[in-house]
A and B are shown apart, each in its own frame.
Chain A
Amino acid sequence: MDINEEQLNGGVSKINLSGRMDIVGVGQIETKFAGMTAAPRMAIVVDMSDVPYMSSIGIRALLMNSKAVSRRGGKFVLLSPQPDVKMVLETSGIDQLINICGALDEAILKVTS
């Protein structure tokens, strides 16, 4: 997997994930992911559009990073998961815990309001 971060206007961080979010993929990005969700970032959008697959290990990575942000009073949303990945998020009930947005402007609004 690959991961990178870009700063958007209004103090929003956009984390771009790509590749298979399985046990191997998560192992490749988890340290960087944790670094990118650390203080002082308070508004984080995780772009999932380039992630074709996710298993429970991937869900765990999203949960852990989301919790780290919310504990500090920050906001963390997922952007544009692919249909099969969205199905996994819904089947596992994660969509009830983490906001999922279909468009960037919607995501930015969610993390800055």
Chain B
Amino acid sequence: MPNLEPVANAWLFTINNQVSEIRRVGEWLDAKFRQLGLPADLLFKLDLCAEEAVTNIISYAYPENGVHEITLRLLVSNLVVNLEIEDDGVAFNPLDAPQHVQPASLEEANIGGLGVALMRRLMDECTYARQGGRNVLKMVAIVPLSGNL
């Protein structure tokens, strides 16, 4: 049973744009979810979607390379978990990747667009905006109510 305050709480976390930093996101989310008593399967989905998004940002938002900070903002209210991922790279929407088409056979299969397909299917909402020279990706997951209403 989530032990959440009635008002929204927000936590900030930053990583650098390096693949080696990606696991720190999972560790941070894990710690927060345990602290808040949120369900493990929701953590799994958010962890996965955050990894897909951050991997895309690291891969495509910095064609000039360089060291950049990626900011993650976790907002939790009674019923909803919001994760915002913000970067200062070139205008890049991770959700614009080509539509993943279910391949007819193993031989045709590739994973182009699979990360985005997973984000869209596992999250209740995914939106992108370009704000003040930054990319902002928002993911929303509705916290399932437990059985004891």
Could you tell me which residues of chain B, from 82 to 123, have a CB within 8 Å of some CB in chain A? 100, 102-103, 105-107, 109-111, 114-115, 117-118, 121-122
Chain B residue numbers with a CB within 8 Å of A53 are 26, 44, 47-48
- 18 sample A-B contacts, Cβ–Cβ < 8 Å, listed by A number: A20-B23, A20-B26, A23-B19, A23-B55, A24-B20, A24-B22, A54-B48, A55-B51, A55-B115, A56-B52, A56-B115, A59-B114, A84-B41, A91-B117, A92-B117, A92-B118, A97-B106, A98-B106
Could you list which residues of chain A lie within 8 angstroms of chain B, going by C-beta atoms? Answer: 20, 22-24, 27, 53-57, 59-60, 63, 66-67, 70-71, 84, 88, 91-94, 96-98
| A94 to B114 Cα, complex, angstroms | 10
Tell me which of B51, B52, B117 has the highest count of chain A C-beta atoms within 10 A of its own C-beta. B51
Q: Are A24 and B111 in contact (CB under 8 A)?
A: no
Could you list which residues of chain B lie within 8 angstroms of chain A, going by C-beta atoms? Answer: 19-20, 22-23, 26, 41, 44, 47-48, 51-52, 55, 100, 102-103, 105-107, 109-111, 114-115, 117-118, 121-122
Interchain nearest-CB distance for A40 vs B (Å): 20
Chain B residue numbers with a CB within 8 Å of A98 are 106
| A63 to B19 Cα, complex, angstroms | 22
Q: Are A91 and B122 in contact (CB under 8 A)?
A: yes
Which partner residue on chain B sits nearest A70 by CB separation?
A: B106
Interchain nearest-CB distance for B7 vs A (Å): 30
Interchain nearest-CB distance for A81 vs B (Å): 13
Interchain nearest-CB distance for A60 vs B (Å): 4
Q: Are B114 and A22 in contact (CB under 8 A)?
A: no
Q: Are B23 and A92 in contact (CB under 8 A)?
A: no
Interchain nearest-CB distance for B44 vs A (Å): 4
